Chains A and B, each alone.
Chain A
Amino acid sequence: MGGKLPTQTYQGIARDKVDFDYLRNRLKVKHFEAKNAFSKKYPHVEKFLKEKGLDVGKIREHSAKIIGAGALTGTLLLTPPTGTKFLPPPQEVLEKIREKASAAGLPQKILVDSLAAVLPEKTRPLNRSEEKYLERIFEDILGIKTKANLEGEHLNTSYGLIGAEQHLKRYPGDGIGNHAPYLKEGIAPGLGAWGYFARSRADLSPSLEETEKWYAVVQTLYLPDWSSRQPYLRDWYKYRKVLIVNTNNGNAVIAAIADSGPAAWTGKHFGGSPEVMEYLGGPRYKKGAVVLFFVDDPQNKVPLGPVEYNKINLPQLALVET
Protein backbone atom coordinates (compact mmCIF):
# COMPACT_ATOMS: atom_id res chain seq x y z
CA MET A 1 0.00 0.00 0.00
CA GLY A 2 1.55 3.34 -1.01
CA GLY A 3 0.97 6.92 -0.01
CA LYS A 4 -0.08 8.43 3.27
CA LEU A 5 -3.22 7.86 5.25
CA PRO A 6 -5.70 10.74 5.09
CA THR A 7 -4.87 11.45 8.73
CA GLN A 8 -1.20 11.92 7.85
CA THR A 9 -1.47 14.36 4.96
CA TYR A 10 -0.53 17.21 7.30
CA GLN A 11 3.01 15.81 7.13
CA GLY A 12 3.27 17.10 3.61
CA ILE A 13 2.94 20.69 4.74
CA ALA A 14 6.34 22.30 5.15
CA ARG A 15 7.07 23.04 8.79
CA ASP A 16 8.48 26.47 7.99
CA LYS A 17 5.35 27.35 6.02
CA VAL A 18 3.28 26.55 9.10
CA ASP A 19 5.62 28.70 11.19
CA PHE A 20 5.18 31.63 8.85
CA ASP A 21 1.40 31.30 8.53
CA TYR A 22 1.00 30.91 12.27
CA LEU A 23 3.13 33.95 13.02
CA ARG A 24 1.42 36.02 10.34
CA ASN A 25 -1.96 35.21 11.83
CA ARG A 26 -0.79 36.04 15.34
CA LEU A 27 0.62 39.35 14.16
CA LYS A 28 -2.55 40.11 12.25
CA VAL A 29 -4.59 39.59 15.40
CA LYS A 30 -2.23 41.80 17.39
CA HIS A 31 -2.31 44.40 14.63
CA PHE A 32 -6.09 44.36 14.61
CA GLU A 33 -6.16 44.81 18.39
CA ALA A 34 -3.79 47.79 18.20
CA LYS A 35 -5.84 49.37 15.43
CA ASN A 36 -9.09 48.79 17.27
CA ALA A 37 -7.82 50.16 20.57
CA PHE A 38 -6.58 53.28 18.77
CA SER A 39 -9.93 53.86 17.00
CA LYS A 40 -11.86 53.47 20.24
CA LYS A 41 -9.62 55.78 22.23
CA TYR A 42 -9.16 58.49 19.61
CA PRO A 43 -12.30 58.65 17.43
CA HIS A 44 -11.61 62.35 16.70
CA VAL A 45 -8.17 61.45 15.36
CA GLU A 46 -9.60 58.71 13.18
CA LYS A 47 -12.16 61.15 11.86
CA PHE A 48 -9.54 63.83 11.20
CA LEU A 49 -7.25 61.44 9.35
CA LYS A 50 -10.14 59.90 7.44
CA GLU A 51 -11.10 63.33 6.16
CA LYS A 52 -7.56 63.72 4.92
CA GLY A 53 -7.75 60.30 3.29
CA LEU A 54 -5.12 58.91 5.60
CA ASP A 55 -4.89 55.63 7.49
CA VAL A 56 -2.63 55.59 10.58
CA GLY A 57 -1.16 52.29 9.45
CA LYS A 58 -0.22 53.73 6.07
CA ILE A 59 1.59 56.82 7.28
CA ARG A 60 4.90 55.65 5.86
CA GLU A 61 3.44 55.53 2.35
CA HIS A 62 2.02 59.01 2.87
CA SER A 63 5.44 60.26 3.96
CA ALA A 64 7.08 58.64 0.94
CA LYS A 65 4.65 60.45 -1.38
CA ILE A 66 5.30 63.83 0.25
CA ILE A 67 9.06 63.47 0.15
CA GLY A 68 8.97 62.01 -3.35
CA ALA A 69 7.02 65.03 -4.57
CA GLY A 70 9.43 67.35 -2.74
CA ALA A 71 12.43 65.69 -4.36
CA LEU A 72 10.87 66.17 -7.80
CA THR A 73 10.30 69.85 -7.26
CA GLY A 74 13.70 70.36 -5.68
CA THR A 75 12.39 71.02 -2.20
CA LEU A 76 13.29 67.78 -0.57
CA LEU A 77 11.80 68.65 2.77
CA LEU A 78 8.99 71.01 3.52
CA THR A 79 10.90 72.56 6.38
CA PRO A 80 14.65 73.24 6.19
CA PRO A 81 16.51 70.07 7.17
CA THR A 82 18.17 70.16 10.56
CA GLY A 83 21.92 70.55 10.55
CA THR A 84 22.18 72.20 7.14
CA LYS A 85 25.57 73.79 6.82
CA PHE A 86 26.40 76.82 4.78
CA LEU A 87 28.42 75.49 1.88
CA PRO A 88 30.81 77.62 -0.15
CA PRO A 89 30.95 77.00 -3.91
CA PRO A 90 32.20 73.49 -4.80
CA GLN A 91 35.35 74.88 -6.39
CA GLU A 92 36.31 76.54 -3.12
CA VAL A 93 35.83 73.32 -1.18
CA LEU A 94 37.91 71.41 -3.70
CA GLU A 95 40.69 74.01 -3.61
CA LYS A 96 40.84 73.65 0.11
CA ILE A 97 41.01 69.89 -0.24
CA ARG A 98 43.88 70.20 -2.70
CA GLU A 99 45.72 72.60 -0.43
CA LYS A 100 45.42 70.17 2.41
CA ALA A 101 46.56 67.33 0.20
CA SER A 102 49.61 69.16 -0.98
CA ALA A 103 50.49 69.86 2.61
CA ALA A 104 51.19 66.10 2.72
CA GLY A 105 48.04 65.26 4.63
CA LEU A 106 46.75 61.74 4.56
CA PRO A 107 43.97 61.33 2.00
CA GLN A 108 41.82 59.48 4.50
CA LYS A 109 42.06 62.36 6.95
CA ILE A 110 41.25 64.80 4.17
CA LEU A 111 38.20 62.79 3.22
CA VAL A 112 36.95 62.62 6.80
CA ASP A 113 37.46 66.37 7.26
CA SER A 114 35.72 67.11 3.96
CA LEU A 115 32.76 64.95 4.92
CA ALA A 116 32.54 66.66 8.29
CA ALA A 117 32.42 70.02 6.52
CA VAL A 118 29.40 68.99 4.48
CA LEU A 119 27.43 66.47 6.50
CA PRO A 120 25.06 67.20 9.38
CA GLU A 121 25.79 65.50 12.68
CA LYS A 122 22.74 63.27 12.53
CA THR A 123 21.91 61.20 9.49
CA ARG A 124 19.10 62.49 7.27
CA PRO A 125 18.31 62.73 3.55
CA LEU A 126 20.76 65.12 1.91
CA ASN A 127 19.70 67.93 -0.34
CA ARG A 128 20.85 68.14 -3.92
CA SER A 129 23.69 70.60 -3.29
CA GLU A 130 25.09 68.51 -0.44
CA GLU A 131 25.02 65.48 -2.69
CA LYS A 132 26.76 67.38 -5.48
CA TYR A 133 29.56 68.30 -3.12
CA LEU A 134 30.03 64.75 -2.05
CA GLU A 135 30.07 63.53 -5.65
CA ARG A 136 32.91 65.95 -6.38
CA ILE A 137 34.77 65.03 -3.22
CA PHE A 138 34.54 61.30 -3.93
CA GLU A 139 35.73 61.76 -7.48
CA ASP A 140 38.63 63.93 -6.42
CA ILE A 141 39.81 61.96 -3.42
CA LEU A 142 38.75 58.41 -4.18
CA GLY A 143 38.97 58.66 -7.95
CA ILE A 144 35.51 57.13 -8.29
CA LYS A 145 32.67 58.69 -10.20
CA THR A 146 29.48 58.42 -8.19
CA LYS A 147 25.96 59.79 -8.34
CA ALA A 148 23.30 60.10 -5.67
CA ASN A 149 20.85 60.25 -8.56
CA LEU A 150 21.79 57.92 -11.39
CA GLU A 151 19.67 57.62 -14.52
CA GLY A 152 16.84 59.29 -12.63
CA GLU A 153 16.93 56.79 -9.77
CA HIS A 154 17.49 57.96 -6.22
CA LEU A 155 17.29 56.12 -2.93
CA ASN A 156 15.13 57.53 -0.15
CA THR A 157 18.27 58.58 1.63
CA SER A 158 21.95 58.61 0.70
CA TYR A 159 23.19 59.35 4.24
CA GLY A 160 22.03 56.89 6.87
CA LEU A 161 22.91 54.10 9.24
CA ILE A 162 24.25 50.80 7.97
CA GLY A 163 23.80 47.57 9.92
CA ALA A 164 25.52 44.21 9.79
CA GLU A 165 23.89 41.52 7.69
CA GLN A 166 24.51 37.80 7.40
CA HIS A 167 25.87 35.97 4.39
CA LEU A 168 23.38 35.16 1.64
CA LYS A 169 22.83 31.73 0.13
CA ARG A 170 24.36 31.83 -3.34
CA TYR A 171 22.93 28.58 -4.72
CA PRO A 172 20.70 25.78 -3.43
CA GLY A 173 22.56 23.88 -0.74
CA ASP A 174 24.98 26.69 0.06
CA GLY A 175 26.00 26.77 3.73
CA ILE A 176 27.97 28.93 6.10
CA GLY A 177 31.00 26.65 5.77
CA ASN A 178 31.53 27.98 2.24
CA HIS A 179 31.81 31.59 3.40
CA ALA A 180 35.12 31.57 5.25
CA PRO A 181 36.68 33.43 6.92
CA TYR A 182 33.60 35.27 8.25
CA LEU A 183 31.71 32.39 9.76
CA LYS A 184 30.40 33.75 13.02
CA GLU A 185 28.01 36.14 11.25
CA GLY A 186 26.07 33.14 9.96
CA ILE A 187 23.98 32.76 6.81
CA ALA A 188 20.47 34.18 6.35
CA PRO A 189 17.82 31.43 6.46
CA GLY A 190 15.86 33.09 3.66
CA LEU A 191 17.09 34.25 0.28
CA GLY A 192 18.09 37.75 -0.75
CA ALA A 193 15.50 39.85 -2.59
CA TRP A 194 16.83 38.61 -5.93
CA GLY A 195 16.92 34.94 -4.92
CA TYR A 196 19.91 32.71 -5.43
CA PHE A 197 22.91 34.17 -7.22
CA ALA A 198 23.32 31.01 -9.30
CA ARG A 199 21.33 27.86 -10.03
CA SER A 200 24.05 25.58 -8.67
CA ARG A 201 27.54 25.70 -7.26
CA ALA A 202 28.90 24.91 -10.72
CA ASP A 203 27.12 27.97 -12.12
CA LEU A 204 28.57 30.32 -9.51
CA SER A 205 31.04 32.46 -11.42
CA PRO A 206 33.90 34.28 -9.66
CA SER A 207 32.05 37.50 -10.41
CA LEU A 208 28.91 36.29 -8.61
CA GLU A 209 31.04 35.03 -5.76
CA GLU A 210 32.43 38.56 -5.40
CA THR A 211 28.91 39.99 -5.60
CA GLU A 212 27.77 38.05 -2.54
CA LYS A 213 31.00 38.79 -0.72
CA TRP A 214 30.63 42.54 -1.22
CA TYR A 215 26.89 42.95 -1.09
CA ALA A 216 24.81 45.85 0.16
CA VAL A 217 21.20 46.08 1.31
CA VAL A 218 19.08 49.13 0.47
CA GLN A 219 15.44 49.94 1.19
CA THR A 220 14.01 49.46 -2.28
CA LEU A 221 10.76 48.32 -0.64
CA TYR A 222 10.13 51.85 0.63
CA LEU A 223 10.75 53.61 -2.69
CA PRO A 224 7.57 55.54 -3.51
CA ASP A 225 7.44 54.12 -7.05
CA TRP A 226 8.74 50.63 -6.29
CA SER A 227 5.45 48.87 -6.98
CA SER A 228 4.31 51.01 -9.89
CA ARG A 229 7.56 50.70 -11.89
CA GLN A 230 8.04 46.97 -12.00
CA PRO A 231 9.85 45.06 -13.40
CA TYR A 232 12.11 47.95 -14.44
CA LEU A 233 13.21 48.95 -10.93
CA ARG A 234 13.79 45.41 -9.83
CA ASP A 235 16.16 44.87 -12.74
CA TRP A 236 17.77 48.28 -12.35
CA TYR A 237 18.68 47.72 -8.71
CA LYS A 238 19.81 44.12 -9.07
CA TYR A 239 23.55 44.04 -8.28
CA ARG A 240 23.76 47.80 -8.86
CA LYS A 241 27.16 49.01 -7.69
CA VAL A 242 27.30 51.50 -4.85
CA LEU A 243 30.05 53.31 -3.04
CA ILE A 244 29.73 53.12 0.75
CA VAL A 245 31.82 55.49 2.83
CA ASN A 246 32.09 55.28 6.59
CA THR A 247 31.80 58.95 7.50
CA ASN A 248 33.65 58.51 10.79
CA ASN A 249 36.88 56.99 9.47
CA GLY A 250 36.74 57.46 5.69
CA ASN A 251 36.91 53.74 4.92
CA ALA A 252 35.24 53.13 1.58
CA VAL A 253 34.03 50.07 -0.25
CA ILE A 254 32.32 49.29 -3.54
CA ALA A 255 29.42 46.92 -3.03
CA ALA A 256 26.62 45.42 -5.13
CA ILE A 257 22.98 45.67 -4.07
CA ALA A 258 21.74 42.14 -3.44
CA ASP A 259 18.95 42.45 -0.89
CA SER A 260 16.15 44.77 0.15
CA GLY A 261 15.83 46.14 3.68
CA PRO A 262 16.29 46.70 6.53
CA ALA A 263 12.82 47.26 8.00
CA ALA A 264 12.21 50.95 8.75
CA TRP A 265 11.58 50.26 12.43
CA THR A 266 15.14 49.06 12.99
CA GLY A 267 16.35 52.66 12.76
CA LYS A 268 18.79 51.55 10.03
CA HIS A 269 18.75 52.48 6.34
CA PHE A 270 21.29 50.15 4.75
CA GLY A 271 22.90 46.80 5.34
CA GLY A 272 26.31 45.38 4.56
CA SER A 273 27.69 41.86 4.14
CA PRO A 274 30.15 40.62 6.77
CA GLU A 275 33.02 41.53 4.42
CA VAL A 276 31.65 45.03 3.79
CA MET A 277 31.17 45.69 7.50
CA GLU A 278 34.60 44.35 8.42
CA TYR A 279 36.24 46.67 5.91
CA LEU A 280 34.19 49.69 6.87
CA GLY A 281 34.71 49.45 10.60
CA GLY A 282 36.50 46.33 11.76
CA PRO A 283 35.33 43.11 13.39
CA ARG A 284 33.16 44.76 16.04
CA TYR A 285 31.46 47.21 13.70
CA LYS A 286 27.72 46.48 13.70
CA LYS A 287 26.10 49.83 12.94
CA GLY A 288 27.30 53.25 11.86
CA ALA A 289 26.76 56.30 9.69
CA VAL A 290 27.64 56.02 6.01
CA VAL A 291 27.11 57.80 2.73
CA LEU A 292 25.89 55.51 -0.04
CA PHE A 293 25.97 56.65 -3.69
CA PHE A 294 25.55 54.78 -6.96
CA VAL A 295 28.75 54.15 -8.89
CA ASP A 296 28.62 55.73 -12.33
CA ASP A 297 30.36 52.94 -14.18
CA PRO A 298 28.75 52.23 -17.56
CA GLN A 299 31.80 50.27 -18.73
CA ASN A 300 31.73 48.11 -15.59
CA LYS A 301 35.36 48.81 -14.81
CA VAL A 302 35.18 49.58 -11.10
CA PRO A 303 35.79 46.37 -9.14
CA LEU A 304 33.84 45.40 -6.06
CA GLY A 305 35.66 45.52 -2.75
CA PRO A 306 37.74 47.97 -0.73
CA VAL A 307 38.67 51.36 -2.14
CA GLU A 308 42.27 51.53 -1.00
CA TYR A 309 42.86 55.15 -1.82
CA ASN A 310 45.54 55.47 0.83
CA LYS A 311 47.76 53.24 -1.24
CA ILE A 312 47.48 55.05 -4.54
CA ASN A 313 48.95 58.23 -5.86
CA LEU A 314 46.30 60.52 -7.33
CA PRO A 315 48.15 63.10 -9.42
CA GLN A 316 45.23 65.49 -9.20
CA LEU A 317 45.75 65.73 -5.47
CA ALA A 318 49.52 65.23 -5.54
CA LEU A 319 49.22 62.56 -2.92
CA VAL A 320 52.23 60.57 -1.87
CA GLU A 321 51.95 56.80 -1.74
CA THR A 322 51.61 55.64 1.83
Chain B
Amino acid sequence: MSKLFFDQLLVLDEVEGEIKKIAKTQEEKEELWGLVDEMVHHRVLGCVLDRLPRENHEEFLERFHASPQDESLLGYLKEKIGDNIDELIRQEIGDLAFELLEEIRAEKK
Protein backbone atom coordinates (compact mmCIF):
# COMPACT_ATOMS: atom_id res chain seq x y z
CA MET B 1 0.00 0.00 0.00
CA SER B 2 1.50 3.23 -1.10
CA LYS B 3 0.35 5.46 1.70
CA LEU B 4 1.92 7.96 4.02
CA PHE B 5 0.71 8.99 7.44
CA PHE B 6 -0.07 12.52 6.23
CA ASP B 7 -1.90 11.54 3.01
CA GLN B 8 -5.28 12.32 4.54
CA LEU B 9 -4.18 15.95 4.93
CA LEU B 10 -3.24 16.43 1.30
CA VAL B 11 -5.75 18.06 -0.95
CA LEU B 12 -4.17 19.33 -4.14
CA ASP B 13 -7.08 18.75 -6.48
CA GLU B 14 -6.63 22.05 -8.23
CA VAL B 15 -3.00 21.28 -9.04
CA GLU B 16 -4.03 17.88 -10.38
CA GLY B 17 -6.67 19.50 -12.57
CA GLU B 18 -4.12 21.90 -14.05
CA ILE B 19 -1.60 19.13 -14.71
CA LYS B 20 -4.25 17.12 -16.50
CA LYS B 21 -4.82 20.03 -18.84
CA ILE B 22 -1.15 20.14 -19.83
CA ALA B 23 0.02 16.51 -19.79
CA LYS B 24 -1.17 14.72 -22.88
CA THR B 25 -0.07 11.19 -22.06
CA GLN B 26 -0.11 9.01 -18.96
CA GLU B 27 3.69 9.12 -18.84
CA GLU B 28 3.73 12.92 -18.87
CA LYS B 29 1.04 13.04 -16.20
CA GLU B 30 2.86 10.59 -13.95
CA GLU B 31 6.16 12.42 -14.36
CA LEU B 32 4.63 15.71 -13.19
CA TRP B 33 2.70 13.93 -10.40
CA GLY B 34 5.98 12.41 -9.22
CA LEU B 35 7.72 15.79 -9.07
CA VAL B 36 4.87 17.25 -7.03
CA ASP B 37 4.84 14.20 -4.78
CA GLU B 38 8.54 14.58 -3.97
CA MET B 39 8.09 18.27 -3.22
CA VAL B 40 5.22 17.39 -0.89
CA HIS B 41 7.43 14.94 1.01
CA HIS B 42 10.18 17.49 1.50
CA ARG B 43 7.81 20.22 2.57
CA VAL B 44 5.78 18.07 4.98
CA LEU B 45 8.85 16.55 6.61
CA GLY B 46 10.42 20.01 6.84
CA CYS B 47 7.26 21.35 8.46
CA VAL B 48 7.30 18.52 11.01
CA LEU B 49 11.04 18.71 11.78
CA ASP B 50 10.91 22.51 12.16
CA ARG B 51 8.58 22.09 15.11
CA LEU B 52 9.72 18.80 16.60
CA PRO B 53 12.37 19.21 19.32
CA ARG B 54 15.79 18.14 18.03
CA GLU B 55 16.09 15.37 20.62
CA ASN B 56 13.01 13.67 19.15
CA HIS B 57 14.18 13.69 15.54
CA GLU B 58 15.83 10.26 15.60
CA GLU B 59 12.92 8.61 17.35
CA PHE B 60 10.47 10.11 14.88
CA LEU B 61 12.62 9.09 11.91
CA GLU B 62 12.96 5.53 13.22
CA ARG B 63 9.20 5.24 13.54
CA PHE B 64 8.59 6.89 10.20
CA HIS B 65 11.09 4.65 8.46
CA ALA B 66 9.59 1.52 10.00
CA SER B 67 6.01 2.42 9.24
CA PRO B 68 5.53 5.49 7.03
CA GLN B 69 1.84 4.73 6.61
CA ASP B 70 1.08 4.60 10.33
CA GLU B 71 -1.42 7.35 11.13
CA SER B 72 -0.58 7.12 14.82
CA LEU B 73 2.54 9.13 13.89
CA LEU B 74 0.26 12.16 13.85
CA GLY B 75 -0.67 11.38 17.45
CA TYR B 76 3.01 11.07 18.33
CA LEU B 77 3.72 14.46 16.73
CA LYS B 78 0.80 16.10 18.51
CA GLU B 79 2.15 14.81 21.79
CA LYS B 80 5.68 16.05 21.17
CA ILE B 81 4.93 19.30 19.41
CA GLY B 82 1.82 20.30 21.25
CA ASP B 83 0.57 22.34 18.31
CA ASN B 84 -2.13 21.27 15.95
CA ILE B 85 0.21 19.53 13.55
CA ASP B 86 -2.66 18.56 11.23
CA GLU B 87 -3.43 22.19 10.65
CA LEU B 88 0.23 23.11 10.21
CA ILE B 89 0.71 20.43 7.56
CA ARG B 90 -2.47 21.51 5.80
CA GLN B 91 -1.20 25.07 5.80
CA GLU B 92 2.19 24.02 4.41
CA ILE B 93 0.50 22.07 1.62
CA GLY B 94 -1.82 25.00 0.96
CA ASP B 95 1.24 27.23 0.52
CA LEU B 96 2.82 24.69 -1.82
CA ALA B 97 -0.40 24.46 -3.84
CA PHE B 98 -0.43 28.24 -4.18
CA GLU B 99 3.18 28.29 -5.39
CA LEU B 100 2.60 25.44 -7.84
CA LEU B 101 -0.51 27.04 -9.28
CA GLU B 102 1.45 30.25 -9.72
CA GLU B 103 4.11 28.32 -11.66
CA ILE B 104 1.53 26.58 -13.82
CA ARG B 105 -0.50 29.69 -14.52
CA ALA B 106 2.58 31.76 -15.26
CA GLU B 107 3.49 29.12 -17.79
CA LYS B 108 0.12 29.54 -19.51
CA LYS B 109 0.47 33.30 -19.98
Instruction: Using CB atoms and an 8 Å cutoff, list the residues of chain A in contact with chain B.
Output: 16, 19-20, 22-24, 26-28, 30-31, 34-35, 37-38, 41-42, 44-45, 48-49, 52, 54, 56-64, 66-68, 71, 76-79, 82, 122, 124-125, 156-157, 163, 188-193, 219, 221-224, 260-268
Contact = CB atoms under 8 A, between A and B. Distances in A.
B45 A19 contact: no
24 contacts: A24-B32, A26-B103, A28-B35, A30-B39, A30-B99, A44-B57, A57-B38, A59-B41, A62-B68, A63-B69, A66-B66, A71-B1, A77-B67, A77-B69, A124-B71, A156-B2, A157-B3, A163-B13, A192-B26, A264-B33, A265-B7, A265-B36, A267-B8, A268-B13
A230 B27 CA distance: 15
Interface string B7-36: 111111101100111111110111111011
Given A23-B32, A52-B65, A266-B16, A82 B43 contact: no
* Most chain A CB inside 10 Å of its own CB: which residue of B2, B15, B71: B2
Contacts, number: 188
Contacts of B9: 267
B10 A42 contact: no
B9 to A, nearest CB: 8
Nearest to A188: B20
A190 B35 contact: no
A66 B40 CA distance: 20
Nearest to B3: A63
Contacts of A27: 32, 35-36, 39, 100, 103
A224 B4 CA distance: 14
Given A30-B103, A31-B38, A265-B37, A156 B3 contact: yes
B1 A64 contact: yes
Given A45-B49, A63-B69, A264 B38 contact: no
Contacts of A56: 38, 41-42, 45
B1 A262 contact: no
Contacts of A264: 2-4, 7, 10, 33, 37
Interface residues of B, number: 57
A64 B37 contact: no
Nearest to B46: A38
B10 A79 contact: no
Given A67-B1, A156-B1, A78 B46 contact: no
A192 to B, nearest CB: 8
Given A67-B3, A188-B20, 9 more contacts: A22-B107, A35-B38, A48-B57, A57-B41, A64-B1, A66-B67, A79-B67, A261-B16, A267-B9
A311 B28 CA distance: 44
A265 B1 contact: no
Contacts of A62: 65, 68
* Most chain B CB inside 10 Å of its own CB: which residue of A28, A67, A264, A268: A264
Contacts of B20: 188-190
A267 B38 contact: no
A320 B49 CA distance: 59
B12 A78 contact: no
B11 to A, nearest CB: 5
A266 B93 CA distance: 11
Interface in B37-74: 37-43, 45-46, 49, 57-58, 61, 65-72
A37 B46 contact: yes
Contacts of A30: 35, 39, 99-100, 103
B28 to A, nearest CB: 6
